[in-house]
């Protein structure tokens, strides 16, 4: 197992308490729970960063993390010297085998609900004006939008949700006649059933 992967897992565990969770979700299940009581009126869209790994300024991001951990009075105390944490944070994006010469980190998709497409476009412009990042924007079509592995349909009563699979998905998975332990076959079926039950609102 690569050292950077092991270190990244450990840093993730250390820094998770410092990440504001108001606008963050870690799974489709949490996303579905959060939108359960949200009114479906308005427009929905998703926004994503172009060229994730090549655009996020690592040194500035490490500065932001250090400020949050060591200079925010509301943050829990961390028993690691600041310079040590900065060094560890720099190892993963700057010295990992897959990094480019500039060093980069990863950020994920953003789901947006607003009163108009103009409001969403203004938000995208604001993000771009205040960072080095560029964003792609996907607006809903016929009030429907895929986000993560969920297909959302907006209605006046709220959101109707189903499982989303990409058009390129051929529907193939583990061969039931393959030579593998029976528990693997069972777990594959259970995973599909669990996702259908958790993701579908009807």
Chunked in runs of 10, what are the mean pLDDT values of the chain (202 residues)? 76 88 82 84 86 78 92 91 91 56 47 84 87 85 91 88 91 81 88 93 88
Residue 168 lies in a domain: no
The answer to whether position 63 is within a domain reads yes
Residue-level pLDDT at 43: 87
What would the pLDDT profile of 125-167 be if each residue is shown by its tens digit?
888 888 778 888 898 999 899 998 999 998 888 889 999 998 8
Residue 46 lies in a domain: no
* Range of the structural domain that residue 90 is part of: 1-37+57-105
Per DSSP, 141 falls in state B
Q: Report the predicted TM-score, pTM, of the whole model to 2 decimal places.
A: 0.65
Euclidean distance between CA atoms 45 and 123, whole angstroms: 11
Domain for residue 83, yes or no?
Answer: yes
CA–CA separation, 110 and 118 (whole Å): 17
pLDDT at 1: 46
């Amino acid at each position: 197992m690569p050292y950077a992967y092991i270190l990244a897992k450990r840093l993730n565990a250390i820094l998770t308490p410092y990440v504001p969770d108001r606008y963050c979700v870690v799974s489709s299940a949490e996303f579905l729970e959060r939108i359960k009581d949200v009114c479906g009126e308005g427009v929905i869209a998703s926004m994503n960063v172009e060229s994730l790994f090549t655009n996020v300024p690592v040194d500035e991001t490490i500065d932001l993390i250090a400020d949050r951990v060591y200079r925010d009075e509301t943050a829990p105390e961390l028993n690691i010297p600041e310079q040590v944490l900065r060094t560890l944070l720099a190892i993963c994006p700057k010295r990992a085998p897959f990094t480019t010469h500039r060093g980069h980190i990863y950020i994920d998709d953003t789901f947006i609900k607003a009163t108009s497409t103009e409001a969403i476009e203004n938000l995208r412009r604001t993000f771009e004006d205040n960072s080095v990042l560029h964003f792609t924007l996907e607006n809903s079509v016929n009030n429907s939008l895929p986000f993560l592995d969920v297909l959302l349909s907006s209605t006046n009563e709220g959101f109707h949700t189903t499982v989303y699979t990409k058009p390129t998905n051929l529907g193939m998975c583990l061969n039931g006649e393959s030579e593998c332990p029976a528990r693997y076959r069972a777990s594959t079926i259970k995973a599909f059933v669990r996702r259908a039950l958790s993701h579908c609102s009807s």
